[in-house]
Amino acid sequence: MQRSIIRTKIVSKQRQHKPISHTGTGVKLSERSKLPPFLALDVLQQAQALGQAGRDIIHLEIGQPSTAAPEPVNQALKQHLDDRSAHGYTVAFGETALRAAIAGHYDSWYGTRPPVDNIAVTVGSSTAFAVAFMAAFDAGDVIAIPRPGYPAYRNLMMGMGLTPRHISAGPEQGWKPMLEEMESWDRLPEGLMIASPSNPTGTVLDSAELQTICAWCDRNGVRLISDEIYHGLAFSKTCDTALNYNKDAIIINSFSKYFSMTGWRIGWMILPDQLIEASQKLIQNLFISAPTAIQRACVSAFECYDEFEAHKIRYQQNRDLLLSGLPRQMTDSAAPSDGAFYLYADISSLTDDSISFAKALLQDESVATTPGVDFDPIDGHKYLRLSFAGSPDHIEEAVRRINRFIGQQKSAVA
């Protein structure tokens, strides 16, 4: 008897309900969700759709190595999966063995060994930014970021109620952020974000330049965040770490680039003592810990420097193929490309609309690139970012197609 009443009730309730609308009209949408898109990923999506439709796409849009993780890392992961011991969370800052290996890496590369307690393992460097911004700043704080620069800094800050403010780092500034610009502002920023080698320009700050920035931040009470994710990928200069020169700096790095492990999603941060407790609490609440088995496998990456150095040589060869093969009007006034795996090519003599240019290049020649407006909302319409992290064959073919595309554009105008 009871069962039939319940069933009747359910049926009658269903009849009363209107179908659910998924358009979301009339329901609140947060202001912070109105972020600009990350165009490189939009281009990737379009390029993948064309690829699925049978087109032979060359991917120069996305900043990731085409190579896989080294075999010792794969083997270590298999072993940790087989022995079934890596099934729980780790502590918020991650496996001690990995943090000790990271400390050893700093010792061998930069002659400084950060305490294991100050190292936090994160889910890629992307979550490290979120932790750093939340631990160090309050809503409304101003953080200076280079223009052009990695778009996620700006987008994430805006999503968190922080105020990103650009400092020019274009051709007039030698593609490097100039501190004087901040001194002319009505108030100094609470934070300064730098990246060397830089995405999208490949600019590498030398040790003296880095020391000047570190000392300026120290003198002015500005929190420095140094994104060192492209360390190891400098072709003629050496990368120095801000860890050596500013006691309050937050250092961020990752296994995604030099270590060729983008999809493994492990990064790290080195924190000043003052931010350890806050960062621990933030990580506990944001993602609890990075994936355990992957953290353990990452320890083996520090045995594979020879393989990574071979990748670096290939990137340099790819860069040289682009610089010698692309039309000079694109390369003569391009950014220096001294590091990372990007050429920020100047297309101002060909177009004043990098988005349409990138779309046409993808449609006509199946070459995916990223329009400069992703990195620079003011002057980015004059630039195109080409990632040369792929294979030399692909780069050579890309050069052929880009030259053909530009030739066709020119003859269409003539």
Binding site for ligand PLP (CB under 6 A): 63, 124-126, 150, 195, 199, 227, 229, 254, 256, 262, 267
Q: Where are the beta strands (DSSP E) in 100-188?
A: 119-122, 142-147, 163-168
Q: Is 106 left (phi over 0), alpha (psi -120 to 50) or beta?
A: alpha
Quick one: 231 or 314, whose CB is closer to ligand PLP? 231
Quick one: 154 or 165, whose CB is closer to ligand PLP? 154
Q: Hey, how many other C-beta atoms are within 10 angstroms of the C-beta on 109?
A: 15
Quick one: 95 or 227, whose CB is closer to ligand PLP? 227
Q: DSSP letters along 274-287, please?
A: GGHHHHHHHHHHHT
Quick one: 338 or 365, whose CB is closer to ligand PLP? 338
Quick one: 126 or 163, whose CB is closer to ligand PLP? 126
Q: How far is the CB of 197 from ligand PLP (least distance, A)?
A: 9
Q: How far is the CB of 223 from ligand PLP (least distance, A)?
A: 18
Q: How far is the CB of 221 from ligand PLP (least distance, A)?
A: 25
CA distances from 40 to 140, 399, 400 (A): 28, 20, 22
Distance CA 290, CA 297 (A): 12
Q: Which three-class secondary structure state does DSSP give residue 191?
A: strand
Q: How far is the CB of 355 from ligand PLP (least distance, A)?
A: 19
Q: How far is the CB of 63 from ligand PLP (least distance, A)?
A: 4
Distance CA 113, CA 116 (A): 9
Q: Is 62 exposed, middle or buried (0-12, 13-18, 19+ CB in 10 A)?
A: middle
Distance CA 101, CA 299 (A): 6
Quick one: 61 or 227, whose CB is closer to ligand PLP? 227
Quick one: 230 or 405, whose CB is closer to ligand PLP? 230
Q: How far is the CB of 165 from ligand PLP (least distance, A)?
A: 18
Q: How far is the CB of 319 from ligand PLP (least distance, A)?
A: 16
For ligand PLP, which residue has the nearest CB? 124
| Nearest CA among 204, 206, 186, 207 for reference residue 195 | 204
Q: Hey, how many other C-beta atoms are within 10 angstroms of the C-beta on 304?
A: 17
Q: Which three-class secondary structure state does DSSP give residue 155?
A: helix
